[in-house]
Amino acid sequence: MGRWNSTSVPGFILMGLTDSAEAKLVLSVLFLLIYLITVLGNMGMILIIRLDPQLHTAMYFFLTHLSLLDLSYSSVVTPQTLENLLTSTKNISFLGCFTQMFFFILFVAAECLLLSSMAYDRYVAICSPLHYPVIMSTRLCHALLTGSYVIAFVDSTVVAVSMSRLHFCESSVIQHFFCDTSPILALSCSDTSEVEIIVFICAGSTLILSLSIISGSYVSIISTILNINSTAGKQKAFSTCASHLLGVTIFYSSTIFTYLKPKTSYSLGRDQVASVFYTIVIPMLNPLIYSLRNKEVKKASLRVWQRREGAGQLK
């Protein structure tokens, strides 16, 4: 059997989600609708926060970048998936495949760390409300954001470069709808144990760091909420972090299920369902979660709309 190294592989074939023409049509319409909602929802969230001065706080600074990351990693995968569903083109070049992998890991890892920064922000808001403006300064917010992107960049670079050095035999068919780590590891005919360890360390360290900060923050948050005497006070405190907690639960459950497991447990159907959920569906859900459950965002949307209507009438 012939063996291709990273410099001689001409490209890969993405098998996609299904071979059924009817299923492809249904999925393409569904994914296109989800992607449009994702783009409009996240762009809308960014614009509302930017246009309303009352939302220029640390919490909404992080929420702006969460929307940007959701939009980014959805755009890395969904357009390619739609093209594969709507056309007979399933080929992707070697460079295109690992470029897609690099940016996907970059944005997902950055979102993991950003969610931990948001958890810390909620911890300060509930546990030290009087010191919140001082602690969550602009300088600290930018430092947390920069740190998230730097760590994510290192992770994505190490993983993508390590994966691209694998050898591939005569089969170039990726049993997936985008260039993710598990199906490419399954495709390789070389010893992948070292690369699996690298992927596990990079993914695991990022998840452990992020989850440790989130867990520690919420232990303190819950302890503080339980010590509040009034029921109304408890409800108000819990409402400030309910949206974030829901978003964290959805995001991490699918991410951990997909990445923190060995190549031998890779299952095509099961992993594709999980991948569709966190690559295509979750980026649509986050703006809905943070807008529908957030009274300040609703009020800000109304204020922005009223200012726009007022400006139109003046013309």
pLDDT of residue 237: 74
pLDDT of residue 70: 93
Cβ-in-10-Å burial (0-12, 13-18, 19+) of 32 comes to middle
Structure tokens at 108: 């997902």
Can you give the pLDDT at residue 91?
86
Give the pLDDT of residue 242. 79
Please check whether residue 132 lies inside any domain of the structure.
yes
Consecutive sets of 10 residues in the chain, 315 residues long: mean pLDDT of each?
51 84 90 94 88 84 93 93 84 90 95 94 91 93 96 96 86 84 86 90 90 93 86 77 82 72 56 80 84 64 63 53
- Taking the alpha carbons at both ends of the chain, their separation in whole angstroms is 73
How many domains, in total, are found in the chain?
A: 1
User: Does the residue 4 lie in any domain?
Assistant: no
Q: Strand 173-174 vs strand 11-14: parallel, antiparallel, or unpaired? A: parallel
Is the residue at 6 inside a domain? no
Task: Tell me the pTM.
Answer: 0.87
HSE-up of residue 287 (Cα within 13 Å, Cβ side):
27
Question: How far, CA to CA in Å, does 44 sit from each of 40, 41, 48, 50, 211?
Answer: 6, 5, 6, 10, 28
Residues β-bridged to residue 168:
4, 188
267 domain residue, yes or no? yes
Residue whose pair of structure tokens reads 């190294």 in the numeric block: 5
* Edge-first strand listing for the sheet containing 91-93: 91-93, 11-14, 173-174
- Residue 2 domain-assigned (yes or no): no
pLDDT value at position 90? Answer: 82
Whether the CB-CB separation of 217 and 120 falls below 8 Å is answered with yes
What's residue 248's pLDDT? Answer: 86
Domain of 140, in residue numbers: 12-314
**Residue 31 resides in a domain:** yes
CA separation for the pair 230, 272 (Å, rounded):
46
Compute the distance between CA of residue 25 and CA of residue 84 in angstroms, rounded to an integer.
11
Nearest to 103 by CA among 297, 293, 279: 279
* Alpha-carbon span 106 to 166, nearest angstrom: 20
User: Coil, helix or strand for 4?
Assistant: strand
- State the CATH number of the domain containing residue 240: 1.20.1070.10
Report how many helices (DSSP H) and strands (DSSP E) the chain contains, helices first. Answer: 11, 5
> Is 1 within the bounds of a domain?
no
* Pairing, β 168-169 against β 173-174: unpaired
Residue 186 to residue 115: CA distance in whole angstroms: 30
In one-letter notation, the amino acid at residue 121 is D
- Type of residue numbered 278: Y
Nearest partner of 209 among 281, 289, 150, judged by Cα: 150
Residue 167 lies in a domain: yes
